[in-house]
């Protein structure tokens, strides 16, 4: 074990790996700080760049982008009361009142310290838990895998968006899209229309960049256009000398909130489908109930920032537990990481630890190093990040369209993929406008192949004797959980509609 840790840190401590982590964190913070963009957009646009890196540097770079982007979202939330991402909305509740009191810098320091601490705790949980999880997953047969996937879909559909029905539609539409191309068993063509470009199916990079990044940017641009191109926020400038100091002792005095929020974030991150936003708001609510200053939440209470930032950053590490152990992404950022792994010829899942153990342990070491770099970069660059948050969206958003086109063209050098991206950008805008979850669509598309293979293997294995399936307690457990989650989601949707 000690040998593995030493060699992992050796692999992670190379010059180019450190450069990749540093660049990922800086780009993540910068893009996360720009209202209207966010860590998911940053990851989607930057995935193609990783094609030219070694697998470890590529994954470390994207993890850095995710870490930086998650904490970067707090900057516009605190300074402009304009959270760039939904999960940062809870940071604005107490961060912005602090900024209005002139304590903007202190609020930003609370945010970055909590973010890094939550991240570190979650990374350690990942390192401890991933091996036992993978060991259990190795015992799973096709039936168990099918049921686990159904459970993940139910969680996704039940939590994401305003209606579980729309969630299920989006997931199965994504799965349907994944069937385009050559059949995984017979290699016969399915809906290819004789197009060679479709033999490998639709490209994940085109779909992800089009549906997640470009569509979000277009919707932002349309929103800005509706407001007549005017920005509707004012910057609360950090004032020199006023409430800038944050002694370590003061930060650590909130250790209960830090620990509780990190645990909430890690737990939410480990369950497939539950997102960062849920972790942030669950943690904020729990901190408010537990704190003696609960009634002051929303008026500039540092505990509010700590609870939100520690929880949403804790999701980043923990969502790699199901990603590495099962090959099932914890959230959309993990789904994009799976896409990057596949691009480098690595199939996530329980065999990843045995087949690519060096890479996995190197990734763990890179994540620990990334936390240290994140702390230094985030702390020293506070004044700089503020400048990115105030660049008008009218200047930032149009060039992103070009970055999306170049990002899709780079790996395949195919105009076909650019066309597919533009189609999915249009579909993404329509889905955002009509309230269908893009996350469900992309995760459905990503897991479609795995779902089809395990379902077909299950059907062949039992060959009509489906009563024998009852003998698998794991499958039964996940099937019961799936039904429970869906029933609960439908009842909740009905209550809110009444």
Partner 1 sequence: MSGPIENSRGVRGRLDFLSGAVLTAASLVAILWLIPQYVPGEATRGEIAPSTFPYITALVVMICSIALMITNWRNFRTVEQSGGWRILAELAGLTIVAGGTLLLIGRFGFVSAGIFAVVCAIYITHYRQHLWLLALISIGLPFLLKYGVWQIFTIQLP
Q: Is residue 135 a contact point for partner 1 (CB under 8 A)?
A: no
How many chain residues bind partner 1 (CB under 8 A)? Answer: 69
Q: Is residue 191 a contact point for partner 1 (CB under 8 A)?
A: yes
Exactly one of 57, 143, 154, 224 binds partner 1 (CB under 8 A); which one? 224
Exactly one of 5, 16, 190, 299 binds partner 1 (CB under 8 A); which one? 190
Q: Is residue 19 a contact point for partner 1 (CB under 8 A)?
A: no
Exactly one of 368, 382, 401, 469 binds partner 1 (CB under 8 A); which one? 401
Nearer to partner 1, 129 or 405 (CB): 405
- Give the binding range for partner 1 (CB under 8 A) out of 124-132, 250-258, 347-355, 448-456: 448-456
Nearer to partner 1, 20 or 321 (CB): 20
Nearer to partner 1, 128 or 491 (CB): 491
Q: Is residue 139 a contact point for partner 1 (CB under 8 A)?
A: no
Q: Is residue 469 a contact point for partner 1 (CB under 8 A)?
A: no
Exactly one of 6, 185, 372, 376 binds partner 1 (CB under 8 A); which one? 185
Which burial class, exposed, middle or buried, applies to 9 when counting CB atoms under 10 A from its CB (0-12, 13-18, 19+)? middle
What are the residues facing 181 on neighbouring strands?
Answer: 190
Report, in Å, the least distance between residue 439 CB and partner 1.
14
Q: Is residue 462 a contact point for partner 1 (CB under 8 A)?
A: no
Three-state DSSP class for residue 384: helix
Q: What angle do CA 251, 254, 257 make, to 5 degrees?
A: 130
Exactly one of 58, 218, 307, 363 binds partner 1 (CB under 8 A); which one? 218
Exactly one of 13, 16, 176, 255 binds partner 1 (CB under 8 A); which one? 176
- Give the binding range for partner 1 (CB under 8 A) out of 6-14, 110-118, 250-258, 416-424: 416-424
Q: Is residue 412 a contact point for partner 1 (CB under 8 A)?
A: no
CA dihedral 92, 81, 319, 306 (to 10 degrees): -30
| Nearest in space to 382 (alpha carbons), one of 146, 109, 166 | 109
Q: Give the residues lining the site for partner 1 (CB under 8 A).
A: 52, 162-163, 165-166, 168-169, 172-173, 175-176, 179, 183, 185-186, 188-193, 218-229, 392-395, 397-399, 401-403, 405-406, 409-410, 413, 415, 418-419, 422-423, 425-426, 429-430, 432-436, 448, 452, 455-456, 459-460, 497
């Amino acid at each position: 074990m000690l040998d593995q840790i030493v060699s992992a840190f050796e692999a992670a401590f190379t010059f180019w790996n450190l450069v990749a982590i540093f660049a990922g964190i800086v780009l993540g913070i910068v893009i996360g700080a720009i209202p209207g963009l966010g860590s998911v957009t940053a990851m989607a646009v930057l995935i193609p760049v990783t094609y030219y890196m070694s697998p470890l540097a590529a994954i470390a770079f994207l993890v850095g982008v995710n870490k930086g982007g998650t904490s970067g979202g707090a900057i516009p939330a605190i300074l402009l009361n304009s959270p760039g991402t939904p999960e940062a909305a809870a940071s604005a509740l107490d961060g912005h009142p602090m900024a209005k009191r002139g304590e903007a810098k202190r609020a930003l320091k609370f945010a970055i310290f909590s973010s890094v601490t939550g991240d570190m705790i979650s990374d350690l949980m990942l390192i401890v838990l991933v091996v036992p999880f993978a060991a259990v997953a190795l015992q799973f047969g096709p039936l168990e895998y099918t049921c686990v996937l159904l459970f993940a879909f139910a969680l996704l559909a039940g939590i994401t968006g305003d209606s579980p029905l729309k969630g299920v539609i989006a997931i199965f539409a994504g799965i349907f899209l994944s069937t385009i191309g050559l059949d995984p068993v017979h290699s016969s063509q399915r809906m290819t229309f004789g197009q060679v470009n479709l033999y490998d199916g639709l490209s994940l990079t085109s779909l992800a960049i089009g549906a997640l990044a470009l569509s979000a940017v277009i919707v932002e641009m349309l929103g800005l256009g509706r407001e007549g191109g005017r920005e509707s926020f004012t910057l609360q400038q950090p004032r020199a000398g006023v409430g800038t100091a944050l002694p370590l002792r003061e930060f650590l005095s909130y250790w209960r909130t830090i620990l509780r929020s990190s645990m909430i974030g890690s737990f939410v991150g480990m369950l497939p489908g539950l997102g960062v936003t849920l972790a942030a708001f669950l943690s904020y609510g729990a901190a408010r109930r537990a704190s003696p200053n609960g009634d002051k939440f929303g008026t500039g209470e540092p505990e509010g920032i700590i609870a939100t930032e520690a929880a949403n950053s804790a999701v980043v590490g923990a969502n790699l537990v199901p990603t590495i152990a099962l090959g099932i992404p914890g959230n959309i950022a993990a789904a994009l990481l799976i896409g990057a792994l596949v691009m480098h010829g690595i199939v996530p899942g329980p065999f990843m630890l045995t087949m690519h153990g060096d890479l996995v342990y190197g990734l763990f070491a890179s994540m620990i190093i990334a936390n240290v770099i994140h702390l230094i970069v985030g702390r020293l660059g506070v004044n700089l990040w503020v400048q990115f948050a105030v660049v008008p969206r009218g200047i930032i958003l149009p060039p992103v369209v070009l970055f999306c086109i170049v990002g899709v063209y780079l790996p395949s050098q195919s105009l076909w993929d650019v066309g597919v991206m533009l189609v999915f950008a249009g579909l993404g805008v329509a889905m955002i406008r009509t309230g269908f979850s893009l996350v469900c669509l992309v995760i459905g598309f990503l897991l479609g192949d795995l779902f089809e293979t395990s379902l077909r293997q299950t059907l062949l294995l039992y060959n009509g004797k489906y009563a024998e399936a009852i003998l698998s307690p794991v499958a039964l457990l996940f099937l019961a959980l799936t039904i429970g989650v869906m029933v609960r989601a439908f009842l909740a949707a009905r209550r809110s509609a009444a």
